[in-house]
Amino acid sequence: MKPLGIIFAAILLISCGKEDPDPSPSTSLSYRGLDASLVPHIEGRGVQYKNGDGQNEDFLQIISAAGMNTVRLRLWYDPIDSRSSWDEVLAFSNQIKSEGLKLWLTVHYSDTWADPAHQNPPAAWEGLSIEEMEDSVFNYTARIAQEMQPDIIQIGNEVNNGFLHPLGHRWNSPEGFHRLFESGSAAVRSVDPDIKVMLQFAGYRGLESMLLETDSLDYDMVGLSYYPMWHGKSLDSLSLALASISEEHERTSLLAEFSYPFTLDWADWTNNIVGLESQLLPDYPATPSGQERYVQDLVALLKSTESVGICYWGGEYIAFDGPQSTEGSPYENQALFDFNFAAQPALEVFD
């Protein structure tokens, strides 16, 4: 009978001869962030954000310390004021990148808000032919990629019905929609093929038909917006939609927009978008802990569907204009900062 020491040594030698297993994948989403488009405007009014201890601190440093690594900004072509203008977005983009954060640009291809109900082209592009519009989209998008150097460029905002109407209307001019989207994508590829190109879709209803229709288009990511009051209160349906993006259509999926209230109260006299119990999900009360748990559960849902990112909308949208303003924030009860502008617990659970 062999001595036990010899047997143990032999077993150890055999086990060491095997290749080590691959390290377990990171438990963090690749893109963890929020849309911070209003920060330059709010800070320009002299308002200061505070960390969780109630101390004034730079906004980007607050979110970075909380574990976020991505900032989303919207870009308008020629807005009526400086908000979301080229100069403002370029300056803030440089600050974001200098902080070591990833930059995600949402290009509206409009002078103002673009969404499923509004997709008006810039006034300067009115009356262009489809060929001229293609050139305009290409040149503008290439300039964005070259000068702002984002990690992600979103071609249009919530393009359920296309963009740049009427030429890019998804239903009335599907070929035009595809041509204009491809012009934007081609512009990005011509500048830097490492920049990710995203298509954003609002909700999960109708997503499958959009993915089938755009199967031949050149884009990397699909970002979904999800607001229960508009898109449905089924997180299971959201999960299935996100999973189908990668499993059936071989695109990368993200949650591009979402939010949730920490209270149904208000901090100014501007009507809030969410203010009723009926607008909530039954399992998540409008409390700081309810908001925090909602974010936690969405992060877990995204990981289970192999999605790569999450982005909060309106997290910065505090009541910046004073307690009696009727032109302040319709979103202060869904921000990631409380009514004293201090960071909420939900800000800490994106990682």
Q: Which two tokens stand for residue 346?
A: 């939900």
180 vs 217: CA distance, rounded Å: 11
Closest CA to 109 of 140, 71, 153, 142: 140
For the cut 90, the answer to whether the pLDDT of residue 184 exceeds it is: yes
Active-site residue, selected from the candidate residues 88, 134, 182, 257: 257
pTM of the model: 0.92
Residue 2: its pLDDT value, please?
37
Residue 351: its pLDDT value, please?
80
Q: What is the CA radius of gyration of the chain?
A: 23
If you search the block for the tokens 């296309």, which residue do you land on?
162
348 vs 351: CA distance, rounded Å: 7
Of the pLDDT bands very low, low, confident and very high (cuts 50, 70, 90), residue 28 is confident
Q: What is the mean pLDDT of residues 205-224?
A: 98
Q: What is the mean pLDDT of residues 260-279?
A: 98
For the cut 50, the answer to whether the pLDDT of residue 239 exceeds it is: yes
Q: What is the mean pLDDT of residues 191-211?
A: 98
For the cut 70, the answer to whether the pLDDT of residue 24 exceeds it is: no
Treating both helix axes as pointing N-terminal to C-terminal, what angle do 130-148 and 86-98 enclose, rounded to 10 degrees? 40
97 vs 43: CA distance, rounded Å: 18
**pLDDT tens digits for range 126-137:** 999 999 999 999
Of the pLDDT bands very low, low, confident and very high (cuts 50, 70, 90), residue 170 is very high
Q: Is the CB of residue 204 less than 8 Å from the CB of residue 232?
A: yes
For the cut 90, the answer to whether the pLDDT of residue 300 exceeds it is: yes
Q: What is the mean pLDDT of residues 75-80?
A: 98
Count Cβ neighbours within 10 Å for each residue of 79-104 and write b for 16 or more, e otherwise. beeebbbbebbeebbeebbeeebbbb
For the cut 60, the answer to whether the pLDDT of residue 325 exceeds it is: yes
Residue 306: its pLDDT value, please?
95
Q: What percent of the chain has pLDDT over 70?
A: 93
Residue 1: its pLDDT value, please?
39
Closest CA to 34 of 102, 85, 118, 82: 102
Q: What is the mean pLDDT of residues 238-262?
A: 98
- 158 given a catalytic annotation: yes
Q: Is the CB of residue 269 less than 8 Å from the CB of residue 322?
A: no
Expressed in angstroms, the distance from the first to the final Cα of the chain is 55
- Give the pairing type, strands 70-75 and 31-35: parallel
In single-letter form, the type of residue at position 212 comes to L
**pLDDT tens digits for range 106-125:** 999 999 999 999 999 999 99
CA distance readout (Å), 110 to 37, 79, 125, 202, 288: 16, 8, 9, 18, 35
Of the pLDDT bands very low, low, confident and very high (cuts 50, 70, 90), residue 27 is confident
Active-site residue, selected from the candidate residues 158, 182, 292, 316: 158
For the cut 70, the answer to whether the pLDDT of residue 19 exceeds it is: no
Q: What percent of the chain has pLDDT over 90?
A: 92
Q: Is the CB of residue 258 less than 8 Å from the CB of residue 252?
A: no
Residue 58: its pLDDT value, please?
98
Residue 11: its pLDDT value, please?
36
Domain ranges, ordered by start, for the chain: 28-349
220 vs 153: CA distance, rounded Å: 10
Q: Which two tokens stand for residue 280?
A: 């909530």
Residue 9: its pLDDT value, please?
40
Q: What is the mean pLDDT of residues 255-269?
A: 99
- The CATH class for the domain spanning 28-349 reads alpha beta
